[in-house]
Chain A
Amino acid sequence: MEGELWALGAESKIIRAVWQERPVAIKSRVVKPYLLADIDELLRRQRTARECKMLTYARSLGIPTPAVYFIDRRNNAIVMDFIEGEQLKEVAQHADIALLEQLCSKFGTMIGYLHRGKVVHGDPTTSNVIVDPMGKLWMVDFGLAEWNATVEMMGVDLHLVHRALETTHWDRQDTMLDAFLEGYSSVMGAAAAAVLSRMEEIRERGRYH
């Protein structure tokens, strides 16, 4: 399959191609020569398999994700629908406040749906959310996702959202976090409180004092 290099992530390359007359994204996890080969192979295999299953499972929980067409196990590659649009990371830089709040609230509901289904995303940053031209949000990059999520795992997921906002969207982080948590809580209901307080607790850890 021919295509153009679309994005070079930290662990993969995304090629945009056409397959059976539809635009597809081919995500392949490339070798990391600095890792021990045993570890590298295991990770690429595990994460490819996991991402493939999770893209489908997440959709069953109500989160828009690209449809998977096939998986090339030899190259640890996944062929999925190409989602036209812009990363939430970019949109957040130029959107007005009202739009920003609406998008972040939507992002919050998506993570809420995942958590309600006992799944954590594992890398819930604004570069892993695509906003399509209709304003609909899609989630990608499920290689670090996990099933059977505990409150601790969900707390970590929210902590990672918080972290992504403070490092990447520092000038708008308060607006974005408030809107995100509003959306999240609206889906999680009473279960949100325990996860939120765990998130705060996690922020304080990792420091030895």
Chain B
Amino acid sequence: MALISLGLEGTAHSFGAGIVTSNGEVLSNVWDMLLPKEGGIHPREASQHHAELGPDIISRAFDEAGISPNEIDIVAFSRGPGLGPCLRVTATMARAISLALKVPLVGVNHCVAHVEIGCFESGFDDPVTVYVSGGNTQIIAFAGGRFRTFGETLDIAIGNMLDTFGRIVGMRFPAGPIVERQAKEGSKYYPLPYSVKGMDLSYSGMLTAAKKLYDDGVPLEDICFSVQETAFGMLGEIAERAIAHTKKRELLLTGGVARNNRLTEILEGVAARHGAQFHRVSPPLAGDQGAMIAWTGLLQHQAGDHLEVSESYVLPKWRTDAQDIIWRS
């Protein structure tokens, strides 16, 4: 009989609860995001948001799945990496459910979950993953029993860069989609710092330069166009290096910024050059949500990876490559 998993995600400004079966059905996937105010996420406010809305989000996940809580076989939670207060609130809810329903507790790495839910949706076995969101920009691939970070940002994440730029020029949050719309109207390229170092990259220099263009009165659509071409071009280049280096045949795009069509087009171009398959994770599974935690929790559970409640402290700095991926060979 299929196992049923409840997954709780709460590493940053979103809280989510998802219910997934070992047959690969997503029964429900409910979430809510705290809109960040000026200056980004406030850890304590975000954790209050999770504490206040969490119980209701969890019961809605059960309602939408059409099952009762005692039908679940495991409860999984995002153990890290993320903001300490948010992780602790989420872990507390997961522990309570584990104890009350007497089901095993599984601690999931948030970044690993983004990769695994992408493999689940695409059917990919062993991709190079481009994981791009408000807080993360990483190129991840499996090697030697671990998911290894082949490249990442040396300063700010791509989503953070787009949102910060947007705030400066008066766009509302999240700015990514507005930048994309504006960029379609632009056509003149203004050079911005293109900063690739090995398979790592940096966005802070181009953010400063883009601000300067805005102050100089360059049309916003042309700045947006130049920002996208530069920022996504850099990502395309490091993704290509990772593909060339690992010789893997699949390229996966995931995370909130995966919604961007220009980035998708660039990565499709990269995959095509190397005869690799490409998949962009669909919006409901690309952002931070509970289904990815539930699904990865199932993979871990089936491989015998559980957590005692007494040992289930959170890991705010849990590196992607610090976990033995025992469910993959």
The residues of A with any CB-CB pair to B shorter than 8 Å are 8-11, 32-36, 38-39, 42-43, 122-125, 127, 144, 156, 159-160, 163-164, 166-168, 170-171, 202, 204-209
Measured in the bound complex, the distance between the Cα atoms of B240 and A35 in whole Å is 12
**A124 pairs with B198, CB closer than 8 A:** yes
- Which of B137, B245, B266 meets A10, CB within 8 Å? B245
Measured CB to CB, the closest approach of chain B to A196, in angstroms, equals 17
Given known A160-B197, A166-B148, contact A35–B155 (CB-CB < 8 A): no
Bound Cα distance A10, B153 (Å)? 19
A36 touches B154 (CB 8 A): no
Q: What residues of chain A lie closer than 8 Å to B260, measured between beta carbons? A: none
Contact status of A209 and B154, CB under 8 A, knowing A156-B200, A163-B199, A170-B148? no
Q: How far is the CA of A33 from the CA of B244 in the complex (A)?
A: 16
A143 CA / B204 CA spacing, docked (Å): 22
* Interface pair A205/B189, CB less than 8 Å apart: no
B16 to chain A, nearest CB (A): 18
- Does B198 contact A43, Cβ atoms closer than 8 Å? no
Given contacts A10-B241, A34-B266, A206-B155, contact A160 B316 (CB under 8 A): no
A36–B230 Cα distance when bound, in Å, is 8
- If A10-B245, A122-B197, A125-B198 are given as contacts, then 8 extra A-B residue pairs at C-beta distance below 8 Å, sorted by A number, are A32-B236, A32-B240, A39-B189, A39-B194, A123-B198, A144-B197, A160-B200, A208-B160
With A8-B244, A10-B244, A39-B189 given, is the CB distance from A208 to B157 under 8 Å? yes
B143 at the interface (CB under 8 A from A): yes
Q: A156 near B84 (CB under 8 angstroms)?
A: no
Q: Which residues of A contact B316 (CB under 8 A)?
A: 209
Which residues of A have CB within 8 Å of B41? Answer: 208
Whether A34 touches B83, Cβ cut-off 8 Å, given contacts A144-B196, A144-B197, is no
Contact of B136 with A by CB under 8 A: yes
- Contacts A/B (CB < 8 Å), 17 sampled: A8-B244, A11-B241, A32-B269, A33-B273, A34-B273, A36-B229, A39-B189, A39-B229, A122-B197, A156-B200, A160-B197, A167-B149, A168-B143, A171-B144, A204-B317, A205-B155, A208-B135
Q: Are B83 and A209 in contact (CB under 8 A)?
A: yes
Could you tell me which residues of chain B, from 136 to 161, have a CB within 8 Å of some CB in chain A? 136-137, 141, 143-144, 146, 148-155, 157, 160
A171 to B148, CA, bound (A): 13
- B180 adjacent to chain A (CB < 8 Å): no
Task: List residues of chain A with CB within 8 A of the CB of B176.
Answer: none
* Cross-interface CB contact of B136 among A32, A35, A208, cutoff 8 Å: A208
Complex interface: chain B residues within 8 A of A156 (CB) = 154, 197, 200
Say how far A44's CB is from chain B's closest CB, in angstroms: 12
Q: How far is the CA of A33 from the CA of B240 in the complex (A)?
A: 12
B153 CB contact (under 8 Å) in A163, A168, A206: A206
Is A34 within 8 A of B197, CB to CB?
no
B154 CB contacts on chain A under 8 angstroms: 156, 159, 202, 205-206
Q: How far is the CA of A164 from the CA of B245 in the complex (A)?
A: 11
Residues from chain A with a CB closer than 8 A to the CB of B205 are none
Q: Do B236 and A170 have beta carbons less than 8 Å apart?
A: no
Q: How far is the CA of A205 from the CA of B135 in the complex (A)?
A: 11
A207 to B110, alpha carbons, bound, how many Å?
13
Would you give the shortest CB distance from A76 to chain B, in whole angstroms?
16
Asked if B191 is an interface residue, CB under 8 A from chain A, the answer is yes
Please report the C-alpha to C-alpha distance between residue A42 and residue B230 in the assembled complex, in whole angstroms: 12
Map CB proximity to A onto B227-258 as digits: 1 under 8 Å, 0 otherwise.
Answer: 00110010011001101110000000000000
Task: Decide if B270 is an interface residue (CB 8 Å cutoff).
Answer: yes
Is there contact, CB below 8 Å, between B146 and A170? Answer: yes
Q: How far is the CA of A209 from the CA of B78 in the complex (A)?
A: 15
Report the bound CA distance from A144 to B268 in whole Å.
25
List the 7 closest pairs (A to B, CB-CB), nearest first. A34-B269, A208-B135, A10-B244, A160-B198, A170-B144, A36-B229, A10-B241
